[in-house]
Structure 1
């Protein structure tokens, strides 16, 4: 059952429990005459406190999980039906409905996850898994005290196997160490006691390599309603960030041309509170942030942030194996999603145990090489200038190369070496950082010219021009 069906069912069930409002009294024993407050109290108490306000939304507790009423219209309609049931009213002024809603929001309740430093709790469809530090797994009944805002869409099965998924990992990754990291991160997502690792998983690589299939399996494993999709470039946007509130996981794809906001990214990965804002609502603080997975063809430009603080948050997993057409199983996803999700959960739990015992993620050799390559490639403008033999010219010579032609040359150089050329803005920023002088003529120019001949490289910084230089 998808989220909309669940919340609609929970709304109807809650309304059915309501009865005609009785008189309400305050602590001093005086009758409460404020009718909006009376309705709000009646809704909360008659629903057995299953209705709460959190982060600017109403939430209903149903079958082990708090479900948010995300739509403003649906929220207002729900309150209207509650009032109608309590007082058998057919016509209700919209102003009065909003007053009752305001009173409901005044009864604020923070949905902080229930935490125990020695136990991890995972919310399943029929019960809750309790996992001790030593790996002992028990099942306990659903209870509101856990404050779950997610629920995995299947039940636990310790004996089930995953032959299709296991073969997929072996085929796509080709490295047991990388498979271990995958399992550890899948467990890390579910472990509310493990934010200290402060890691984001980056899956990257071109072509038919299984990356998209893995992402689709992850979505099914955690349930699409428990996953947000906020892109790297939007992590500084308060309205977009509000989509992450209370989610298990955020999945991002390729960063836009302007790269990622490393400041916001580092905060989110570390679980530091950030600001959020729903449309037409006040700014509020988001404290329950998801773990993050990024799936992209090429690693993102990070606006020159080469700090240890940025790199240490990354787990880079390359998908370098191209799956041949004859080896593709187009039914693989269907087989895994139909039969093997509980087994993949076991894979994640085993990864969680291993992460706890090790104290850190498996140090895969391939990932170390990927990180070194990423660090080097993040500074490759200087390498480009050196290899293509660009030299500084004096201002008095009134010569230089336009940014447009520099970028064309840079783009060809990057494509030949497998680097991401990003944008001309990126190139300009890096040239400025390296200390090269820019000036304006008909467009932007730099006081550098290329000494390397075209027949040595096949590249030239000048297009549609017989001259090897741009004149001021």
Structure 2
């Protein structure tokens, strides 16, 4: 560490400027993003820890400042140290520095550049903007299926045996692994959150999560239940993550808008504990497992459904066929194979601009909507309402909400499940693609293309302004 330079006024700002010079001499290049200092380490950008920064700051404790004959000594306190640390980060802040990382996978022997033309190993470069590196060398091989006799092959064959979509599901798992490693999650034409779903135990979904967690560097993954995505302290954890995972998420309701923003990579406000807030643009793939599917706080509108990829694990693996901790074992002993397999999946996802489609997943989402979204469940009840698309079917939004509320009471729904009329009207406006249109008239807003059961409407004389 270089010796401290002379101080003139001894202010926190002056000390911060000197510390930046000292850090630059030590690390060559120093930038800040999200209140964290980084330096290029030859393979990836690494964090300069707070303890390391403190070692540079404390060198100025007791250091003289001022002109000859009028010198005083710097006295550092916890408050001053924290203030200097914040000023160092603020002065080196590079807004959106990591917002557009290169598409590829950093490994020990280079950066695997991915595109529609294939995979290419190139030297590491700081312009790739990667903050993590895989502890494995790539042999420049790409495989579309697991090698025969490997643990990976045994796992895939075991979990999807006799499944009519076995081939497609194996492809999807490879695509998930590849998208996680390549940072391509938010660049898909339709970004998804993945839910590994299976109501029974011993179906292998938790082992795939273990495989992913073993594949991804610890610094590039977090465990975060989707119900916490509305918390700005949790959002701050998403910065720089490749993988966000959680097991058995069925217990708590998910904030619909927060999930959509995180999955798509929209700017979100994050605030680490005891630090200033900043904007986070998530890049991670969200991979959850569930025995039961959770509700959404604002219903499962088309935007939520479009952002979900369900992989159904339907087979209970017989006890004699199980290999204990197979997910961990694959990550420990077959990392190079898994990397080649994941690269094949990533290239396929890039060419397709998305994941391989699974009909079974769409069916699960359809069932999920009916049990977790009262509005959609009401729309699918032919005894209550019908979408006709006809102009002559045009109840007021007040009538439609009254019909929905009456239906909810018959279904024993709580008031919180039914919600407010303003939100109900908003959901109606989202049905334009299905032939339903909310239009204003001299008697209030009318819902064109929707026919109500006559027994649950209000008097036509009551208009609506919402």
**TM-score with structure 1 setting the length:** 0.68
Report if aligned partners of 1:277, 1:284 keep a CA contact under 8 Å in 2. Answer: yes
What per-residue deviation string (whole Å, max 9, x for no partner) do you get for residues 296-323 of structure 1?
1111111351311110101001111111
Q: What corresponds to 1:337 in structure 2?
A: 331
The 1-side partners of 2:182 and 2:307 are apart by 17
Which stretch of structure 1 is more off in the superposition, 55-64 or 337-346? Answer: 55-64
The answer to whether 1:143 aligns with 2:125 is: yes
Q: What corresponds to 1:79 in structure 2?
A: 56
What per-residue deviation string (whole Å, max 9, x for no partner) do you get for residues 11-52 of structure 1?
xxxxxxx32245799xxxxxx997414522322320243433
Give unpaired runs (5+ residues) of structure 1.
Answer: 1-17, 26-31, 387-405, 411-423, 435-472
Query: How far off its partner does 1:245 sit?
Result: 0.9
Distance change >3 Å, CA 370–CA 101, structure 1 → 2: same
The answer to whether 1:108 aligns with 2:99 is: no
The answer to whether 1:155 aligns with 2:146 is: no
Instruction: Tell me the matched-pair count.
Output: 368
Alignment partner for residue 172 of structure 1, among 116, 135, 159?
159
Query: How far off its partner does 1:236 sit?
Result: 0.3
Report if aligned partners of 1:111, 1:147 keep a CA contact under 8 Å in 2. Answer: no
The 1-side partners of 2:339 and 2:415 are apart by 47
Trace 1:55-454 onto structure 2 (pairs within 5 A). 55-68=34-47, 74=51, 77-80=54-57, 93-94=76-77, 97-98=81-82, 100-105=84-89, 106-110=91-95, 112-113=97-98, 115=100, 120-140=103-123, 142-159=124-141, 162=147, 163-174=150-161, 175-192=166-183, 194-205=187-198, 206-255=200-249, 257-303=251-297, 305-330=299-324, 332-378=326-372, 429-430=416-417
Distance change >3 Å, CA 365–CA 82, structure 1 → 2: farther
Give unpaired runs (5+ residues) of structure 2.
Answer: 65-72, 382-407, 422-466
The 2-side partners of 1:101 and 1:222 are apart by 30
The 2-side partners of 1:69 and 1:22 are apart by 21
Distance change >3 Å, CA 347–CA 285, structure 1 → 2: same
The 2-side partners of 1:240 and 1:33 are apart by 31
What per-residue deviation string (whole Å, max 9, x for no partner) do you get for residues 140-184 of structure 1?
1x2322221222222213459652112201211331111111112
Report if aligned partners of 2:42, 2:126 keep a CA contact under 8 Å in 1. Answer: no
Report if aligned partners of 1:76, 1:97 keep a CA contact under 8 Å in 2. Answer: no
Distance change >3 Å, CA 380–CA 287, structure 1 → 2: closer
RMSD of the TM alignment (CA)? 3.6
SS at structure 1 position matched to 2:369 = helix
Report if aligned partners of 1:203, 1:293 keep a CA contact under 8 Å in 2. Answer: yes
